[in-house]
Amino acid sequence: MNHRSSLALRLIAAFAVPALPAIHAAERAPALASLTYSGDQSALEALDRELIAAGKDTAKLTTLRGSLLAVLRHRDATFAGRQAAAQRLGLVLAALPPAERAADYRPLSTLLEDPLNCDVARLALDPAPGAVVDQMFTAALEKASGAHRVSLLTSLGSRRVASAVPSLARLASDTDPATSLAAIRALTSIGGAAADAALKSATGATPAARVAARLKVISGLSGETALASLAEIERDTTLPAASRRAAFRQLLDRDAAASLPRLKEALQGSDWDHKEVALEAITTAPSPERINLLVAGIAGWDAPTQVAAIGILARTGAASAVPAVSAAARGARPEIREAALEALGSLPGSTDTALLLLGAASGTEDAAKAARRSLARLRGPGVSETILAAAEKGEDASRAAALDAIAARNLTEAIPLLLRARESSATAIRNAALSALAEIGPYSPQAVVIAWAVAASDATERTRALRAVIAVTLRGTEAATRAKPVFSAIESAPPEVAERLLGALSRLGGEEGVACAARIAARADAKLSAAAVATLARWPDASALPALASLANSAGAPAARDAALTAASQMLEKARDAWTPMRSEALRRLLDASKDTAARKNLVALLARANDETAAGLAAALQSDAALGADARYAAGAIAANRRGAPKARGNPASGAGNAVDGKTSSRWTVPTLGEEWLELDFHVSRPFRRITLDQTARAAEFPEKYSVHVTDDPKNPGPAVAEGAGQRNRTVIEFPAAPAGRYVIIRNLAERKDSSWSVCEVYLD
């Protein structure tokens, strides 16, 4: 905290101090003279109250000035006392009219010339106005050296003492780096033509430091002197390039009349430092004259300059730039042509511009992509009409580009035109129309798009048609019925057509979509049935599980039954959201369908995640099975605990521990990895454990450095660890071969990993 901030706080605090007797001026010097930083502050508090009470009263302030000077004259005053007095004296002197009586400042002058007390004097004199104070600093400077001199130079700069410039000019060339740099800074703060001249001749600092100071000073000057100085700096090749650029930029900003020739010279030249400044200046202030300069000169500049200028013209949106940019778009240099085509989309458009872009958009190079992007943005009279006409009657290449533009511009009035494109003999036209329908096609032409997808013969056309079917169907407002025409088309289509249309079902989703896929999977056609099962296996959620379980028992083709069994088992394994009775019923049907012992054991292991009556009954019934009995007994114990509800979590640190068992991977428990963290899970009743998974989800690297796990019924006496190991990325999987049982699981991190954390998004049990 600086001295003035400290004083301000003390003055505020003074209002809260109980009233104390005022200390008379005669008493103040001894009282403040003995002040210490940690001792009695009552004298200082009384003084601050007097300062507040004095306000702007000159008589009271003059009295206070005298008493504070007396403190500074006191022979045995402590440093704390002199500092406190000087701080307050600075406020008093700043509030008084400038005094011309040098005798009043004699104690301060003496202190200012003393290296040990200079900073105390500066506390009082820095805020004090007047030529007398300026002369005191200048006089002290002549006698000072080293750090003492640097302090005085700082004050002369902050006070902007113009009369000190001759002395500062001499010291700016001093061989002591600290002195010369402080003098340069003071000259910079003072400013003016004399300061600039002094900085120009200074030799005591680096050229970069001198010219940086000059540029600051020149920014405050006006007239021909400033322009001459800037031009001199800009031409001096011995100076740093950054300084020359800064001078050039000031010239461009300050001398508008002369800026155009300078800009033109820079853009025609080969000095990229100046060229970049010129381009940036035009970008910042794109006046009509500067835009015309770019338009007139663009064709004669080198390629990088043309590209930059075209980009600036695009940002201005000036209509006058269109002819020059259009000409550049027809040029031979690829980089210039691509920049111009990209820029045309930001300039005022017309029929001619649209035709130019349509022609360029039919190519295969990067320029074609730029032209298509511009067609999407182009605005102006006749633009949309030109695109629509080209989409219907143009050459095939231009038609395809126009059809893409229809989608990009959301020209929904062209929907009939897109549908008629199905009759085109050109594959590219049909594909472009289908892509546009997928982007902007409404639900109303769904039947036509379905028929198009059924009849499509080209592989790319089939893919795009199916995408269009999905897109227009999802735009239907009646979610329950909008996909029925698609289901009907699939079920009535020949096998080879139905097979390729099946891909729409998982995107459309819903119970009817699952039912449609299940009906196809039940057919005798082995290839079609397998494709339908594969579709159900890719379903985005577990709603396809009952259908897969049913197919595992009843699919017409043996291969389809096996595929359904495998897919359903994998779906159950991957599903980590809340268990439902539907899953228990599906698991029962899968057990009925499976004949492989290993597969059945895996299914019973999954049963341990359940929490419903159906699952409990199934686990009880299977306990008499010789091959599955042990797994069923484990599942029964787990189900009984699961039915008591989600576990309760405690942690060290405790904050957020419940996030580890809230069923959401979007929340987490996160703690620093210091080697002393633990997470305790209470499952309400004793239960067996085979495997615990700590899911870190997006916090892949935030795993326990080294862990131990305790399973117990008494968390205060957990006993020996039942598992130990190192954490793993993404998910830390902890296996318990012996299947210990207990009500509590305590997981401890035992080792520090600096600058890292341990996160648990969710705990999974198996």
What secondary structure does DSSP assign to 148-211, as a single string? HHHHHHHHHHHHT-GGGHHHHHHHTT-SSHHHHHHHHHHHHHH-SHHHHHHHHH--SS-HHHHH
pLDDT over threshold 80, residue 377: yes
pLDDT score recorded for residue 308: 96
Place of tokens 């056309």: 461
pLDDT score recorded for residue 437: 98
Q: Are the C-beta atoms of 603 and 587 separated by less than 8 Å?
A: yes
Helices and strands counted in the chain (H then E)? 40, 10
Question: Which tokens go with 625?
Answer: 């099975």
CA–chain centroid gap for 164, Å, is 50
What's the sign of the alpha-carbon dihedral 632, 633, 637, 640? Answer: positive
Biggest CA–CA distance in the chain, Å, is 117
Q: What residue ranges do the domains of the chain occupy?
A: 1-143, 415-468, 578-643, 648-765
At 448, give phi and psi (nearest 5°).
Answer: -65, -40
Per-residue pLDDT averaged across 261-268, rounded? 94
pLDDT over threshold 60, residue 18: no
The DSSP symbol for 113 reads T
**Paired residues of 41 in beta bridges:** none
pLDDT-derived band at 102 (thresholds 50, 70, 90) equals low
Question: Which tokens go with 741?
Answer: 């049982």
Q: Are the C-beta atoms of 355 and 347 separated by less than 8 Å?
A: no
**Cα distance between residue 622 and residue 639, in whole Å:** 14
pLDDT score recorded for residue 341: 97
pLDDT over threshold 50, residue 3: no
- What average pLDDT does the structure give for the chain? 91
Which of 130, 129, 110, 106 is CA-nearest to residue 118? 110
Question: Which tokens go with 208?
Answer: 């970069």
* Greater pLDDT, 197 or 75: 197
pLDDT tens column, 495-550: 999 999 999 999 999 999 999 999 999 998 999 999 999 999 999 999 999 999 99
Per-residue pLDDT averaged across 596-622, rounded? 95
Cβ-defined contacts of 245-250 (< 8 Å, 24+): 245/273, 245/274, 245/276, 245/277, 246/215, 247/211, 247/215, 248/274, 248/277, 248/278, 249/277, 249/280, 249/281, 250/215, 250/218, 250/219
The DSSP symbol for 752 reads -
- Which residues have C-beta within 8 Å of that of residue 57, sequence separation ≥ 6? none
Amino acid at 611: N
Cis peptide before 653 (omega within 30 of 0): yes
At 521, give phi and psi (nearest 5°).
Answer: -65, -25
Place of tokens 């509590």: 744
- Which residues have C-beta within 8 Å of that of residue 264, sequence separation ≥ 6? 293, 297
Amino acid at 502: L
Q: What's the full length of the chain, in residues?
A: 766
pLDDT over threshold 70, residue 660: yes
Considering the chain, what percentage of its residues have pLDDT values greater than 70? Answer: 95
Per-residue pLDDT averaged across 112-139, rounded? 92
DSSP 3-state of 324? helix
**Cα distance between residue 143 and residue 155, in whole Å:** 15
Q: Is 630 exposed, middle or buried (0-12, 13-18, 19+ CB in 10 A)?
A: middle
pTM for the structure as a whole: 0.71
The neighbour count for residue 439, using CB atoms within 10 Å, is 16
669-672 and 741-749: which strand pairing?
unpaired
- Which residues have C-beta within 8 Å of that of residue 545, sequence separation ≥ 6? 568, 571, 572, 575, 582, 583, 586
pLDDT score recorded for residue 362: 82
Q: Are the C-beta atoms of 122 and 94 separated by less than 8 Å?
A: no
**Cα distance between residue 501 and residue 491, in whole Å:** 10
Helix or strand run (H / E) with residue 682: strand 678-688
pLDDT score recorded for residue 176: 93
Rounded alpha-carbon distances, angstroms, from residue 687 to 171, 618, 650, 683: 86, 18, 18, 8
Question: Which tokens go with 172?
Answer: 């700016």
At 323, give phi and psi (nearest 5°).
Answer: -60, -45
Comparing 30-34, 76-80, 85-89, 237-241, the range with the smallest average pLDDT is 30-34
pLDDT score recorded for residue 72: 84
Q: Is 408 exposed, middle or buried (0-12, 13-18, 19+ CB in 10 A)?
A: middle
Rounded alpha-carbon distances, angstroms, from residue 38 to 34, 41, 384: 12, 8, 82
Per-residue pLDDT averaged across 299-313, rounded? 95
**Paired residues of 420 in beta bridges:** none
pLDDT-derived band at 470 (thresholds 50, 70, 90) equals very high
**Cα distance between residue 115 and residue 31, in whole Å:** 26
Q: What is the dihedral of CA 407, 410, 416, 418, to 10 degrees?
A: 0
pLDDT score recorded for residue 1: 40
pLDDT score recorded for residue 697: 84
**Cα distance between residue 657 and residue 607, in whole Å:** 27
Task: Kindly state which CATH superfamily the domain 648-765 is placed in.
Answer: Galactose-binding domain-like (2.60.120.260)
